Amino acid sequence: MNKYNLNNSYKAVVIGGSAGSFQGIVKILSQLPPGFPLPIIMCLHRLKHVRNGFVEALSLKSVIQVTEPYDKESIKKGGVYLAPSNYHMSVELGNYFAMSTEEMINNSRPAIDITLGTAAYVYRDKLVGILLSGANRDGGLGMKHIKDKGGLTIVQEPTECMIDTMPRAAMALTKIDHVMKVDLIIDFLKELDKQYR
């Protein structure tokens, strides 16, 4: 038995974050084990009308190149994906992405609830959901969907968050399996990686 009671049945990792999450995300991406076996699907709040720059900034230190997928692009093992600006990003049955320009949710497009909720529907108990620092409630409901389908839920330790509204919203809505600082989240992902070796 390993320390987080993990196995190799997981199919994807989804990460949500908003205000104050950038540093944490960069740290996670920079310390990922090379050849990390699962797709990492990220939905981060970002400026709606700045299309360029964010994915480049994340890629700078990332072990794996980050991409903003196109509508109907297949989700590949080992890919690191970021929801593009001004689109909601869904995961579809058949393992691909779909974009939409529907109304904002919690004042956000992309909305974390949509990415997490659709990923939960597709991957069910084979999903790890991680929610980081943020100043609004978006993502809380998405984490609840993940838990309800039997997935694993992790939030960033509120005391470490620049703004803890987002992880606390998730903690109020559902059972969170692990409350962790970013360093421990990295340790967790390394442990997860080992299950596939």
Q: Is 102 in the site for another protein (CB under 8 A)?
A: yes
Quick one: which segment of 31-39, 97-105, 123-131, 164-172 binds another protein (CB under 8 A)? Answer: 97-105
Instruction: Spell 64-103 as b/e; 16+ CB within 10 A means b.
Output: bebebbeeeeebeeebbbbbbbbbbbbbeeeebbbbeeee
**Cβ(32)–Cβ(64) below 8 Å:** yes
Q: Which residue out of 21, 85, 138, 164 is catalytically annotated? A: 138
| Min dist. Cβ of residue 18 to another protein (A) | 16
Residues of span 57-76 touching another protein by CB under 8 A: 68-73
- Would you mind telling me the total number of residues written for the chain in this entry? 197
Give me the sheet containing 40-44, strands edge to edge.
Answer: 66-67, 80-82, 40-44, 12-17, 127-131, 152-156, 178-180
Q: Which residue out of 18, 21, 62, 85 is catalytically annotated? A: 18
Catalytic-residue membership of 45: yes
Quick one: which segment of 9-17, 24-32, 101-109, 128-136 binds another protein (CB under 8 A)? Answer: 101-109
Q: What are the residues binding another protein (CB under 8 A)?
A: 49, 51, 68-73, 84, 86-88, 90-93, 98-103, 105, 111, 113-114, 117-118, 121, 141-142, 144-145
